[in-house]
Amino acid sequence: MPLLLARPAGVSFSFRFRFLEMRSAKKFTLLLVGLVLCIGAVAFSTQVVEYNPAGVKKGERAKYEAILASHRRKEQLLSEATQSEAPLARFESTSFDFGLVDPHSTLSKEFVVQNVGMSPLTLDVHSTTCKCTVGKLADNILLPGRSTTVTLAWNTGYQAEKYEQKALVATNDPTQPEIELSVFGEVKAVLISPESARMNTANPGEASTGRIVLYSQLWDSFSILEATSDLPGFDWECAPLDTDTAELIKEHPRSAMVLTPTARLKNRGSFSGEINLKVLPADGGEVIERTIKVTGKVRAPIIFISNDIHMTQGLDLETCNSSHEHQFQVLVRAQGASADGRALEVLDVEPKELQATLQPLSRPGNYRLTLTIPKGTPSVMFNRDEKHGYVQVGDPENKDFSNWFPVYGAVVAAE
């Protein structure tokens, strides 16, 4: 029979009470921690919104805050003006685009202003940006609820470019002491041509061509009377161009021409020159002259082709042991019309321990270049930028018709 021990009265209740007390304290602690975390998160998010507004970069924060301050100030002034029954100026618009306009045109635009305040509004054209802009007020004093106009007249002048002219209107509106009005547009051009153009890259002696578009926003048609240039073998053609093409659709041309210049240069490298044009409108007006700078490039007369040749570093032979022979092959190709009938040869090779031979292939202008390091070649180093080898191939009768490539490597004598 098991032994039963009697518990003193109240022991069980006291234990249960302390247990419940501990659980309540634990819940209270968790609740307190959660409350602190929520307050911290709210404070953090408030700081993020205050100091890092969405979409505003740190470097633009000062500008952003200045704009907000300006808006708040205007709202405050508007509220004060409304309460104090001050005059309030409201323009239907403050800018106008005349679009594409003719030269020597005098244009005008009326801006409507209304006094939406509770007392008389005074207006005065304070200043304009230049003499060609004239501001005129129909009324200087505007009673509440009434409206008037401010007229800006603008002389476009002759030069074809984009213009914008402004006028400042001074008011007794406490929210807008000065209001800026602007008119702008673009003056049509008699003839538009590029300042420069690029010719196509060509082989020596072959035609390098370009494409130059000229157009007028005033003439119904025009012709290119003459085109001259200092480029060798210069020639040109021209033809009308549809004004609805994508490249011109935004330029609003009335007529357009495309000039196709060609030049034939023999020597490799970049070239530049000028094309001088004389253009005549169809109505027989004054001839207009234009000068266009052109640039282009002539490829090397000879190219070297191999999977082992780097475009800038040349051919890397690495380190070769002279205990046996080493060979490397490169395809050589003469380019351009001036290559016809030429017989190419190896003009020079460094280091002299390298043997270079050139063999014509069945296709005209193509050769196989073979570089050989003979067995038993003494040690030689040519693997540095300041001390490397090279192979030059060309026409022995004309050194301008040649090309070369660097060769890097080393030969180690067998022991």
Residue-by-residue pLDDT tens, the chain, 415 positions: 343 434 444 444 443 444 444 455 555 555 555 555 555 554 444 444 444 566 667 677 777 677 766 666 566 555 554 555 789 999 999 999 988 888 888 888 999 999 999 999 999 988 777 666 677 888 899 999 999 999 888 887 766 678 888 888 999 999 899 999 998 888 898 999 999 999 999 998 899 999 999 999 999 999 999 999 999 999 999 999 999 999 998 889 999 999 999 999 988 899 999 999 999 998 888 899 999 999 999 999 999 999 999 888 899 999 999 999 999 999 999 988 778 888 999 999 999 999 999 999 999 999 999 999 999 999 999 999 889 999 999 999 988 899 999 999 999 986 6
The token pair that represents 247 in the structure block: 């490249």
The length of the chain is: 415
Give me the amino acid identity at 309. Answer: I
How far apart are alpha carbons 253 and 222 in whole angstroms?
A: 12
How far apart are alpha carbons 94 and 171 in whole angstroms?
A: 14
- What pTM value is reported for the model? 0.64
Task: Please state, for a pLDDT cut of 90, what percent of the chain lies above it.
Answer: 56
Dihedral sign from CA coordinates of 4, 6, 10, 15: negative
